[in-house]
């Protein structure tokens, strides 16, 4: 919402496209923003619900003509000074995406926002209006938003303040609620169902429906992509968070190139995010990223659990819940928090020497400085990889360890320990 307000007030405002996977709340947040911060009306053009409106963009892409005809079909007057025009499900009308560049050039006073999923597939034949639109990405709800949505505003306020050592009572309370979040996840409908029912069975029902929706979308991805390969790849990746990806292992039924194509389609659909290996000594990370050594973070940990069919009620009772998936669950949580803070793309460090397994889960950049981040499911561990990385890179001030341990910084080390629930805080601008 803060980003939307900044866009509204910017003197360099352009038409805005909000991207994100299905059902992360794009339509809701835009309507909430429009109804709250515009003195006029929000005019919604839903291209999926009204395919007959696509023809408005067939004759030409003259924004003056299009706006006048939209006023006719909507039976409204659109005032550029007070109103918000909202193109919803814009992927269903690719020409409307192209038209946004002309709205920018010829109607700069108009406040225009578009939202949609699978946008990259819709744009593959028309090109993207580079330099003519602003872009934002909406992720699932993070842990802070989960706390607020479930009536824990006091705890939410704590985890965005400067990290400090909390009482053991509050620390354990946050960890216990974090366990709930790791099964519920951040999809808005899942969070709503949890708030209303406190039933994991109900939450799993929502997650199952969402996953079915995503699978039904597979046919829209691209001609020639085997939907069975997409399903196999999706299932495999959900079970191997935190592990390096090898295309040949994604499915035994398909070749490496077929698996690779399926993997890239899931990336494009934003169901997964790529975490590339890179150097810890130089910026930007992308300039030194490996094209062959990478891991993944799933869209949402709740959906990840649902794909794997874990029995939530049994898992929640375990004290070492965060060790699930060989520690990959905690790594997934941190990655999801980083992405929600706008820290995208993600990177990690792995030693290039032969027979070496040294690896640090994430590298983050803040104010031109590099910080390695290790994720530990528990409070113990040797941290050999972190120590090695810091020894080899004396210019790195310190590294962070996210775990279930209390806040602290051992004397004589360049390592700071933060509880997992501070993950978003670690990369947020105010940290």
Q: Are 44 and 88 in contact (CB under 8 A)?
A: yes
CA 146 from chain centre, in angstroms, equals 15
The enclosing domain of 7 has a CATH number of 3.40.50.300
Whether residues 114 and 195 share a domain: the answer is no
Residue 233 has pLDDT above 60, yes or no: yes
User: Residue 388: enclosing H or E segment and its boundaries?
Assistant: helix 384-392
Q: Which tokens hold the place of 346? A: 């993600």
Residue 420's CB is within 10 A of a number of other CB atoms, namely 22
pLDDT by residue (tens digit) across 315-371?
A: 555 666 566 666 788 999 999 999 999 888 999 999 877 666 789 999 999 888 999
Q: Is 298 in a helix, a strand, or coil? A: strand
Number of domains in the chain: 2
Q: Are 308 and 380 in contact (CB under 8 A)?
A: no
Whether residues 92 and 212 share a domain: the answer is no
Please state, in angstroms and as integers, the Cα–Cα distance from residue 154 to each residue in 147, 190, 193, 422, following that order.
Answer: 9, 22, 21, 15
Q: Are 54 and 92 in contact (CB under 8 A)?
A: yes
- The Cα 320–Cα 304 span in angstroms is 18
135 vs 413 pLDDT, higher one: 135
pLDDT, position 126: 72
Whether residues 87 and 190 share a domain: the answer is no
Whether residues 185 and 157 share a domain: the answer is yes
Whether residues 133 and 153 share a domain: the answer is no
Residue ending a domain, choose from 137, 170, 193: 137
Residue 378 has pLDDT above 70, yes or no: no
pLDDT by residue (tens digit) across 265-286?
A: 999 999 999 999 999 988 999 9
**DSSP, residue by residue, 205-242:** HHHHHHHHHHHHHGGGT-TT--HHHHHHHHHHHHH-TT
- The Cα 176–Cα 317 span in angstroms is 10
Residue ending a domain, choose from 81, 104, 137: 137
> Which residue range is the domain that position 423 belongs to?
143-427
Q: Rounded mean pLDDT of 113-141?
A: 86
pLDDT, position 311: 61
**Least-confidence region, from 15-19, 94-98, 326-330, 398-402:** 326-330
Whether residues 318 and 203 share a domain: the answer is yes
Query: What confidence tier does 121 reach under pLDDT thresholds 50, 70, 90?
Result: confident
Q: Are 322 and 379 in contact (CB under 8 A)?
A: no
Whether residues 128 and 207 share a domain: the answer is no
User: Residue 112: enclosing H or E segment and its boundaries?
Assistant: strand 112-116
Whether residues 131 and 151 share a domain: the answer is no
Whether residues 30 and 83 share a domain: the answer is yes
In the DSSP assignment, the letter for residue 11 is T
Whether residues 346 and 260 share a domain: the answer is yes
Whether residues 190 and 51 share a domain: the answer is no
Q: Which tokens hold the place of 161? A: 């303040």
Q: Which tokens hold the place of 22? A: 């299905």
Within 47-151, residue ranges assigned H as helices are 63-74, 94-106, 119-122, 143-149
Whether residues 229 and 106 share a domain: the answer is no
Whether the full predicted model's pTM is greater than 0.85, yes or no, is yes
In the DSSP assignment, the letter for residue 161 is S
Residue ending a domain, choose from 137, 161, 191: 137
Closest C-alpha to 222, from 190, 267, 170: 267
């Amino acid at each position: 919402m803060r980003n939307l307000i900044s866009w509204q007030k910017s003197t360099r405002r352009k038409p805005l496209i909000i991207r994100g996977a299905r059902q992360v709340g794009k339509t809701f947040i835009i309507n909430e923003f429009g109804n709250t911060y515009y003195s006029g009306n929000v005019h919604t053009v839903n291209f999926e619900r009204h395919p007959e409106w696509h023809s408005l963009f067939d004759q030409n892409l003259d924004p003056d003509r299009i706006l006048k005809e939209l006023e006719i079909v909507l039976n409204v007057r659109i005032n550029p000074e007070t109103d918000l025009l909202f193109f919803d499900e814009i992927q269903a009308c690719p020409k409307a995406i192209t038209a946004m560049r002309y709205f920018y050039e010829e109607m700069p006073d108009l406040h225009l926002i578009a939202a949609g999923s699978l946008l990259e597939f819709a744009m593959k034949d028309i090109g993207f209006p580079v330099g003519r639109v602003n872009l934002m990405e909406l992720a699932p709800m993070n842990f802070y938003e989960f706390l607020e949505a479930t009536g824990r505003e006091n705890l939410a306020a704590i985890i965005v303040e400067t990290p400090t050592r909390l009482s053991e009572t509050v620390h354990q309370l946050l960890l216990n609620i974090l366990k709930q979040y790791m099964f519920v996840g951040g999809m808005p409908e899942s969070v709503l169902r949890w708030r209303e029912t406190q039933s994991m069975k109900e939450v799993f029902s929502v997650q199952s429906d969402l996953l079915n929706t995503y699978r039904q979308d597979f046919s829209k991805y691209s001609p020639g992509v085997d939907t069975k390969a997409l399903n196999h790849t999706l299932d495999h990746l959900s079970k191997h968070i935190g592990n390096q990806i090898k295309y040949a292992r994604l499915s035994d039924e398909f070749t490496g190139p077929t698996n690779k194509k399926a993997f890239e389609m899931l990336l494009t659909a934003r169901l997964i995010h790529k975490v590339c290996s890179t150097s810890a000594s130089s910026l930007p990370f992308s300039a030194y990223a490996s094209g062959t050594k990478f891991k993944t973070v799933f869209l949402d940990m709740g959906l990840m659990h649902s794909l794997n069919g874990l029995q939530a009620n049994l898992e929640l009772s375990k004290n070492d819940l965060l060790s699930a998936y060989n520690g990959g669950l905690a790594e997934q949580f941190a990655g999801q928090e980083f992405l929600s803070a706008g820290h995208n793309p993600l990177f990690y460090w792995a030693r290039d020497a032969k027979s070496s397994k040294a690896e640090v889960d994430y590298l983050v950049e803040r104010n031109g400085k590099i910080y390695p981040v290790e994720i530990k499911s528990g409070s113990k561990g040797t941290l050999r990889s972190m120590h090695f990385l810091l020894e080899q890179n004396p210019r790195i001030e310190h590294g962070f360890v996210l775990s279930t341990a209390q806040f602290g910084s051992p004397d004589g080390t360049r390592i700071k320990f933060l509880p997992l629930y501070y993950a978003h805080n670690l990369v947020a601008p105010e940290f």
